[in-house]
Amino acid sequence: MAKALNVSQQVGHFRQWCYQTTDSAPSHASRVTQKFLTNQQVQFLRPQQWMPNSPDSAPCDYFLWRHVKKKLNKRRVSTLRGLQKAIREEVKKIPQEMILRALKSWPKRCRQICYAEGRHIEKHS
């Protein structure tokens, strides 16, 4: 996995203001992952900097998966392959402005979690 990925090419000029964000999944917290990100010169939050007890703090969690789940609940899918296809289709249908709105709300959401001292925030306004 790590050998095939050239983060420098992917990140490019965004490197100055781009941070890799993760959650506390073991694969994200592993020394191998941390070393890989460091070697690729990717800025990232170390595990001790992650917001504790704050589920749904990343745009994919609070926007993308919630949106896709809502759409998938209206579809009849019976196989894993069918589910994968349905997910791809629903993601492609998301209007760009919806995605941008979700991304723009992320800094405010993070500030609210900080003000709540890492505790869960019920609703982002």
pTM over 0.85: no
Q: What is the pLDDT of residue 23?
A: 67
Contact status, residue 37 vs residue 20, Cβ threshold 8 Å: yes
- CATH fold, domain 28-116, is Nucleotidyltransferase; domain 5 (3.30.420)
> Encoding tokens for residue 72?
């998938």
- How many helices (H) and strands (E) the chain has is answered by 7, 0
User: Residues 59-111: pLDDT tens digits?
Assistant: 888 889 889 999 999 999 999 999 999 999 999 999 999 999 988 888 888 78
Please state, in angstroms and as integers, the Cα–Cα distance from residue 29 to each residue in 2, 25, 85, 120, following that order.
Answer: 15, 6, 30, 21
pLDDT bracket for residue 56 (50, 70, 90) = low
Domain boundaries along the sequence of the chain:
28-116
Q: What is the pLDDT of residue 75?
A: 94
Q: What is the pLDDT of residue 42?
A: 77
Give the mean model confidence (pLDDT) for residues 17-44: 76
Given a cut of 90, is residue 52 above it in pLDDT? Answer: no
Q: Name the residue with higher pLDDT: 71 or 53.
A: 71
